[in-house]
Structure 1
Amino acid sequence: MQIANFQDLLNAAAMQSDAQRLLMVFAGATLPADASAQQKAEFEAGQGGELAPLICVDKLPQELGSFEALTQEADQLLSTEQRWQIVFIASLSGSPGQAPGPEQADKALQAMVESIKAGRIAGFIPFNRQGTPVNLQAH
């Protein structure tokens, strides 16, 4: 199934034979400690930087009403200095009728965070603040 928006993701999760729990890692752009003068200038102009995980959330698909509600919740959890640009989403399968529990989600979220820090994002769907999937490529 092609995921063109957040609702498509919710629909795909609902269609799975095993109950799903969605894992979300909200990430913001940061400047590397060893950034060059050019990288600093680009970052200040709103370009470049690297993505750093800010907060993690896990939810059952039926707990998510809309992407707007999810973004509002994330914004409330973050301090005013922090702003997320991308949310990475993955799905964790349970069994028929039984979604994975919070303990399983915590372990999987930790693994997601470590993967994102290492730049391994191939298994996740990144969405921008407008709820549109984006194609991220390293430069």
Structure 2
Amino acid sequence: MQIASFDDLIAAARQQPEPQRLLLVFTRAELPDGASAAERAGFAAGRGGALVPHCCVDKSPHELQDFAALAEEAGLFAPDWAIVFVAALSGSGGRPPAEADIGRSLDRMVEAIKAGRLDGLMPVDRRGRAVRLA
């Protein structure tokens, strides 16, 4: 199955033999300190900036109806999010991942995003589409 959207990811996670948790880190676009005048102008026009982790949550794929419902919920706690990074964490033996494992994994995701190490994370835009970040 090709995963081109968040809804594709939900469908794939629901089909896995072991229980899954989807790990979500919502980021905001911010202008870095010391930005040049050109960078500031581009940012004001909606281009550029740095993606900064704002908040994170984990969800079972069965808790999520679709991306539209997630985006509506996210608007309550992070109305200005720009990109959500998503990863899946698998349980074992028919049990979902332990809360401690979920917390550690979310912490690692936040640190990876801060460091620009995005391998293994799926960036999703506000329309629910997977995007490539340059």
* TM > 0.5 fold call: yes
* 1:47 paired to 2:47: yes
The answer to whether structure 1 residue 113 and structure 2 residue 110 are counterparts is yes
Match of 2:89 in 1: 92
Shift of 1:25: 0.3
Structure 1: stretches of 5+ with no match in the other structure: none
Are residues 1:125 and 2:127 paired? no
* RMSD of Structure 2 on Structure 1 (CA): 1.1
Instruction: Return the offset for 1:103.
Output: 2.0
In structure 2, C-alpha distance between the alignment counterparts of 1:67 and 1:117, rounded to whole Å: 24
TM-score by length of 2: 0.95
Note the C-alpha offset of 1:17: 2.0
- The 2-side partners of 1:6 and 1:112 are apart by 17
For 2:109 and 2:36, locate their aligned partners in 1 and report how far apart those are by CA, in whole Å: 28
Aligned residues: 134
Q: Does 1:3 align with 2:3?
A: yes
Tell me whether 4-13 or 125-134 shows the greater mean CA deviation: 4-13
Q: Distance in 2 between matches of 1:96 and 1:131?
A: 31
Identity of aligned residues (%): 51
Question: Conserved in 1, the CA contact under 8 Å of 2:10 and 2:66?
Answer: no
Q: Distance in 2 between matches of 1:41 and 1:102?
A: 43
The TM-score with structure 1 as length reference comes to 0.91
Any conservation in 1 of the 2:25–2:86 contact (CA below 8 Å)?
Answer: yes
Moved more, 84-93 or 14-23: 14-23
Which residue of structure 2 aligns with residue 70 of structure 1? Answer: 70
Q: In structure 1, the residue corresponding to 2:53 is in which secondary structure?
A: strand
